[in-house]
Amino acid sequence: MTPPPRRRSLSVWIEALFAAGVLACLAWVAWHLSVAGYLPQPYFYESFDTWMDWFNTAYYAHNGGIYDDWRSVYLPLSFVILKLFSNSACYGWADTMQARNCDWISIASIHLIFLVNIPLVYWSFRKVDKSTALPRTIATCLGLPMTFTLERGNLLLLTFTFLLLAYGPLLKSARLRWLAAGLAVNMKIYLIGTIFAQLLRHRWRWFEGALAASVVIYLLTFAIVGEGSPGQIIRNLTMFSESLQAGSPLDVWYSSTYQPMIVLLEHSSFPAVSTLGSNTVEALTLGLPLAIHFVQVSIVIAAVASWARPEVVPLHRLVLLSIAMAIITTEAGGYAQVLLLPFVFMERWHGPGRIWALIATYLLCLPIDIPIGSAVTLVRESYLGGREVFADYFASVGQLIRPGLILSIALALSMVTMRDVWTDIRRNGWRWPIGRPASTPLPAS
């Protein structure tokens, strides 16, 4: 169902205003960097650490000790890629900061991946809806999740590329999509759910092809790196999970889930919330886990509904819900939000559930934060500023509401899915989904 022309015109203007808001906030960030010498909140709190997600990982790609010394949870593919797109001569020092000053190939690679993603995103959105392609591209590629990922130099930049090629509208070849899906899973293992989501559409061959591609890529890169056995990765994932349970105020700096906040509340060590009073803290300690579980159950029910009526639910929404389930359940870092953006922005501006999901996604893309209480000022060395700076740190509104926005997006689109399936069942009657005729067409997206 296409919205009436008048409503459609209004929605285009609303999205254009949101995109303008993203650009205005980004201009303020650039002004703050030029004047204060560092990127403001919600960008990373250590101003000298720019791009170091890339360089720290590259150091171990060249020097070994990936899974025993560094305790990495990355699969071997990440280290194969970093070895290819970095200068090995720069990693003889023990100090990775010196490698950053030497390795121009890595810096060029980080920004090249970022730039390549922009036309890929635009072409993808243009195939879905020409009228909203530009504002949605601006929000996706220049908004907070993507620019935060760029500043960190995180491999999510490349994971995003593979994920968009696997499940977006650009590639026609199923085998190339399998390859892209396998590459995405080998970059971030929690994306395995996107492959299993294909079973909800009864796409057994697609599921088998993508899963086989994932396994083959893992085995090849494991053989190349010589480290990263399943036992090593499972051990490190367990240790990583246990470290998150210890809790730290910095865990909530830019988070995609309330899990870190719940840990801090239980230890009464999160001052921005503790100042609200013991009754509020108790309510949050009880309410936040319930909210997470409620959304998780909603996603599961939506998945079952999709399995019953696969032709009613677009593929991009199943991919989105599988990613949302992963990032609201475990803390994958705030930049993991970037993986949700293209699949929310493939939704139409129609109906309250979809509209809210789109609005919430635009809000997530605004690179700005609002302080709660007074700031703490510390002296820091800034890499981008090239000097010592006085950096302000504060508890913020964004730290409290961003995980809630993600929960609301997942809940809204789960409800839309359940409603669409129920409407179709009422209109066409119930039929057992197993054994549906092979000739019954399924929409591509």
Domain around 342: 37-428
Count up the domains in the chain and report the number.
Answer: 1
Residue 80 lies in a domain: yes
Q: What values do phi and psi take at 10, rounded to 5?
A: -65, -40
Residue 19 lies in a domain: no
Contacts of 239 (CB under 8 A, 6+ apart): 71
Global confidence as pTM: 0.92
Quickly count: other Cβ atoms within 10 Å of residue 84's Cβ: 10
Q: What is the pLDDT of residues 278-335, one digit of tens each?
A: 677 778 888 999 999 999 999 999 999 999 888 899 999 999 999 999 999 887 788 8
Percent of the chain with pLDDT over 70: 90
Residue 403 lies in a domain: yes
Residue 24 lies in a domain: no
Q: What is the pLDDT of residues 162-205, one digit of tens each?
A: 999 999 999 999 999 999 999 999 999 999 999 999 999 888 99
Residue appearing with tokens 């994306």 = 191
Q: What is the pLDDT of residues 214-244, one digit of tens each?
A: 999 999 999 999 998 989 998 988 887 766 6
Residue 84 lies in a domain: yes
Residue 79 lies in a domain: yes
Residue 9 lies in a domain: no
Residue 76 lies in a domain: yes
